[in-house]
Amino acid sequence: MLFSMIRLGCKEIAESVMNKLKTDTEHFVLQGNRAPSLAVVLVGHDGASETYVRKKAEACGFLGFMHFQYSFDEDCSEERLLEKIDELNERKDIDGILVQLPLPSHINEKHVIERISPEKDVDGFSPVNAGRLLIGEECFTPCTPKGIMKTLEYYGISTSGKKAVVIGRSNIVGKPMAVLLMQKGIDATVTVCNTKTPDLKEYTQNADIIIVATGKPKTIDSSYVKDGAVVIDVGVNRIPDPSKKSGFHLEGDADYSSFHSRDVSITPVPGGIGLMTVSMLMMNTFDAAVRRSR
Ligand code: GUN
């Protein structure tokens, strides 16, 4: 029997989240509240980070959020950055603070993330939010895992009683993803692997849902996946490509083309999970504004 892969595109999902948020924001403001506001801090001139920061500014513009951007040179000291965060923590007109990662190597990311007030930590990276997520309390959920849960829900992919394998154990994606999938009500049986897991296939070939978030192209191909499985590709790898005006093209962590004639559902790159992250950040910023207005 011939199969064709199912492409789980995320453009429509992200657009519907943004449209609903725009309406919710209009109502929030009509009720006499200040528009939600996001402060974005960028250090240095990393090309990918500049693109992400621009997308966040555009999303704020679309929704009618206030947006403040603070850009520092590559050689900005950790002290100067921490001073800026202290100032943003204190400001009444700012609901959400996001420091774009990665930071230059002379700055300790842990110090920076820990300095952001948990009430304004719309990335959900601070120890307080990470801890709250772990014990199932109200918190800011990191945007990429939150966007993946939304995608599974949109496509009616059930998680209860399913075997999920998460490949990658970063604080930003892998760990919070595993926590969300094992939550009560979601009820997946979760295995967390990493690039050093011997015989990765042993785990992935039994999985109903595979989340691949290693930051390494071709971490898995179709030989790693059983029929009927769902693959969520979190990778956004820039591959040098002289045929492109930008000089690169994007590839995920899964070898997408290998799945073509397989009975597998998979998120594409681009056009997949990457599109969800910004809309989830905007949801978190809206929630921060609502909580702070109470
Ligand atoms: N760099 C790559 N992804 C992210 C993200 O979700 N938040 C921040 N702050 N930096 C990032």
**CATH number of the CATH domain containing 61:** 3.40.50.10860
154 and 64, same structural domain? no
**Catalytic positions, written as ranges:** 56, 100, 123
244 lies in a domain? yes
Please answer whether residues 273 and 233 qualify as being in contact, where contact means their C-beta atoms are separated by less than 8 angstroms.
yes
pTM beyond 0.85, yes or no: yes
204 and 113, same structural domain? no
Render each residue's pLDDT in the chain as its tens digit; 294 residues.
677 899 999 999 999 999 999 999 999 999 999 999 999 999 999 999 999 999 999 999 999 999 999 999 999 999 999 999 999 999 999 999 999 999 999 999 999 999 999 999 999 999 999 999 999 999 999 999 999 999 999 999 999 999 999 999 999 999 999 999 999 999 999 999 998 999 999 999 999 999 999 999 999 999 999 999 999 999 999 999 999 999 999 999 999 999 999 999 999 999 999 999 999 999 999 999 999 998
291 lies in a domain? no
268 and 180, same structural domain? yes
CB-ligand 1 contact for 143 (6 Å cutoff) = yes
Question: What's the 3 CA to ligand 1 centre distance in angstroms?
Answer: 36
129 lies in a domain? no
CB-ligand 1 contact for 123 (6 Å cutoff) = yes
245 and 176, same structural domain? yes
Instruction: Give the separation between CA 202 and CA 179, rounded to whole angstroms.
Output: 22
26 lies in a domain? no
In this structure, the residue with its CA closest to atom 2 of ligand 1 is: 101
CA dihedral 51, 55, 57, 59 (to 10 degrees): 180
CB-ligand 1 contact for 101 (6 Å cutoff) = yes
Instruction: Give the separation between CA 78 and CA 148, rounded to whole angstroms.
Output: 33
CB-ligand 1 contact for 41 (6 Å cutoff) = no
Indicate the number of domains in the chain: 2
CB-ligand 1 contact for 100 (6 Å cutoff) = yes
Question: What's the 167 CA to ligand 1 centre distance in angstroms?
Answer: 18
107 and 208, same structural domain? no
CA atoms lying within 13 Å on the CB side of residue 205:
6
Chain centre distance of CA 193: 19
In this structure, the residue with its CA closest to atom 1 of ligand 1 is: 101
Q: Which of 59, 81, 10 is nearest to 286 (CA)?
A: 59
226 and 174, same structural domain? yes
Give the domain-ending residue among 122, 155, 190.
Answer: 122
6 lies in a domain? no
**Domain of 71?**
35-122
13 lies in a domain? no
Instruction: Give the separation between CA 103 and CA 287, rounded to whole angstroms.
Output: 26
pLDDT at 1: 67
Question: What's the 196 CA to ligand 1 centre distance in angstroms?
Answer: 24
In this structure, the residue with its CA closest to atom 3 of ligand 1 is: 101
Please answer whether residues 49 and 100 qualify as being in contact, where contact means their C-beta atoms are separated by less than 8 angstroms.
yes
231 and 150, same structural domain? yes
pLDDT at 195: 86
